């Protein structure tokens, strides 16, 4: 009976989500129905306590601050300066300026914390420039879509904060655990560009006029503000001077300072950035509240216990469990955004993951990687929508261009499984 009720609630959830109801309200509604069936305690009481507990965490305060920091930077000339500083260094590398998509996204990911913000910011600068210089649009769009997902993996990362709160693990360790996997993924993307360029030499425009080393170093001065901000935010966390929340506040102050120095700070832009950050955080907060209440309801129904028993009965090895969860998250990613995927599933999956002996820091990075893939998976891949707005192409065209990036990200999951120290080496030394 409990199993049938749980399955019925899951089906009901997908029906409501498919009807276009807000995700947070859908989760709250299904949780409310579930509690009416299985719990004798007052439902309103349970809902209020759960919502308050899930949204009043001090750690969660870092989330709106990092969102605000990203919005401020999004409205400055920082991204343009980053392109100027990077471009001269890739003239002689196969693929040339296509690498700016990857390196630019890697750098901007370390100050934005958002995949969509990284995609929009780098795309507004690189796509017109690459098109003007004659680079194939399919490669420009595909590499940007893949590289922009690094906004979730390279710290500071919004999704890591959400996972850290949901799984009750150290956000600082999650942040530092994402550094090497992020660099690994960026290397895989650049390796693909090099291989593609070697086999398609006729499609790569001729190199620009060569520059001396001193000229390249002079152009690299444009990267100083970005590097300084990254150093201030991440350095304050890893040195123990600040918590993740305090580091987010440092990031906001630093982004204000950069905007003021370059003359792009105005009350209008401050207000626009604050309003945009508030809108995104309110959306995330409602999803967190709804997911927390639905997780409580599913606990009363017995879904976590049944799921753990089902997976346990399969006697899956850790590798098979990871592969099964990869497929599970990819299917879920076709219908939900990354934040929803994490908050809706982590509470249910934790007993199974712990029983399998998987390290929770490692599992957090694994989840972020799979959520990254969901960012470029139709029909709900957020990066696909961002690129559609930038390029005016159909979603199907953009989805085809990211297939190689999709495959490389799956390869990265296997690499961190067989070589877990890629994730855990730095956290163990904190």
Identify the pLDDT of residue 421: 93
Nearest to 117 by CA among 81, 78, 89: 78
CA atoms within 13 A on the CB side of 249: 8
Q: Does residue 135 sit in helix, strand or coil? A: coil
Residues ≥6 apart with Cβ < 8 Å to 310 = none
pLDDT band for position 127 (50/70/90)? confident
pLDDT beyond 90 at 425: yes
Per DSSP, the residues of 258-314 read: HHHHTT---HHHHHHHHHHHHHHHHHHHHHHHHHHHHHHHHHHHTHHHHHHHHHHHH
d(CA 330, CA 341): 10
Q: Where are the beta strands (DSSP E) in 93-148?
A: none
Q: What are phi and psi of 41, to 5 degrees?
A: -75, 155
pLDDT beyond 60 at 185: yes
Nearest to 111 by CA among 230, 280, 260: 230
Residues ≥6 apart with Cβ < 8 Å to 425 = 180
In the numeric block, which tokens belong to residue 375? 């960012």
d(CA 358, CA 352): 9
pLDDT 10s digits, 284-338 = 777 778 777 777 777 677 665 666 566 666 777 888 889 988 888 887 776 666 7
Please give the C-alpha separations between residue 270 and each of 75, 91, 154, 158, 282, in angstroms, as whole numbers.
Answer: 9, 37, 25, 21, 18
Please give the C-alpha separations between residue 170 and each of 5, 158, 310, 340, 420, in angstroms, as whole numbers.
Answer: 35, 14, 29, 20, 18
d(CA 332, CA 375): 12
pTM as predicted: 0.75
User: How confident is the model over 397-402, as a mean pLDDT?
Assistant: 87
pLDDT 10s digits, 224-255 = 887 788 788 878 877 778 877 788 888 888 88
User: What whole-number percentage of the chain has pLDDT above 90?
Assistant: 11
Residues ≥6 apart with Cβ < 8 Å to 22 = 286
| CB of 311 closer than 8 Å to CB of 321 | yes
Q: How many residues does the chain have?
A: 430
Please give the C-alpha separations between residue 207 and each of 101, 103, 148, 251, in angstroms, as whole numbers.
Answer: 17, 18, 25, 37
Maximum mean pLDDT: which of 68-72, 138-142, 325-329, 345-349: 138-142
In the numeric block, which tokens belong to residue 190? 């650049």
- For the chain, the average pLDDT equals 80
More confident of the two residues 154 and 298: 154
| CB of 157 closer than 8 Å to CB of 151 | yes
């Amino acid at each position: 009976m409990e199993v049938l009720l749980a399955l019925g609630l899951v089906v009901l959830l997908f029906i409501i989500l498919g009807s276009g109801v807000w995700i947070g309200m859908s989760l709250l509604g299904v949780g409310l129905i579930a509690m009416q069936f299985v719990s004798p305690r007052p439902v309103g009481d349970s809902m209020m306590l759960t919502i308050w507990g899930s949204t009043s965490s001090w750690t969660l305060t870092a989330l709106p601050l990092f969102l605000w920091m990203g919005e401020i930077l999004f409205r400055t000339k920082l991204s343009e300066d980053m392109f100027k500083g990077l471009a001269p260094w890739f003239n002689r590398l196969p693929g040339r300026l296509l690498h700016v998509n990857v390196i630019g996204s890697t750098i901007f990911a370390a100050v934005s914390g958002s995949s969509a913000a990284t995609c929009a910011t780098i795309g507004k600068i690189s796509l017109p420039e690459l098109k003007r210089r004659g680079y194939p649009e399919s490669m420009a769009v595909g590499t940007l879509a893949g590289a922009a997902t690094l906004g979730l993996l390279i710290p500071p990362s919004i999704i890591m904060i959400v996972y850290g709160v949901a799984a009750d693990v150290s956000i600082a360790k999650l942040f530092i655990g994402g550094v090497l996997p992020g660099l690994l993924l960026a290397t895989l993307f650049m390796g693909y560009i090099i291989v593609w360029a070697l086999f398609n030499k006729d499609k790569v425009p001729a190199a620009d006029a060569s520059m001396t080393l001193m000229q390249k170093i002079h152009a690299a001065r444009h990267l100083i503000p970005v590097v300084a901000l990254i150093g201030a935010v991440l350095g304050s966390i890893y040195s123990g001077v600040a918590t993740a929340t305090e580091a987010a506040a440092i990031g906001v102050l630093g982004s204000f300072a950069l905007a003021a120095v370059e003359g792009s700070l105005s009350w209008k832009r401050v207000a626009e950035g604050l309003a945009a950050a508030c809108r995104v955080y309110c959306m995330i907060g409602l999803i967190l509240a709804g997911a927390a209440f639905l997780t409580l309801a599913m606990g009363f129904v017995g879904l976590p216990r049944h799921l753990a028993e089902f997976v346990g009965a399969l006697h899956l090895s850790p590798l098979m469990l990871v592969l099964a969860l990869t497929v599970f998250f990819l299917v879920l990613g076709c219908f939900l955004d990354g934040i929803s995927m994490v908050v809706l599933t982590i509470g249910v999956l934790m007993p199974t993951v712990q029983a399998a002996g998987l390290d929770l820091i490692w599992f957090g990075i694994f989840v972020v990687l799979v959520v990254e893939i969901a960012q470029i998976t139709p029909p709900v891949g957020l990066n696909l929508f961002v690129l559609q707005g930038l390029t005016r192409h159909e979603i199907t065209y953009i989805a085809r261009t990211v297939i190689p990036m999709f495959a490389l990200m799956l390869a990265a999951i296997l690499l961190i499984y067989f070589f877990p120290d890629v994730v855990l080496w730095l956290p163990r030394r904190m």
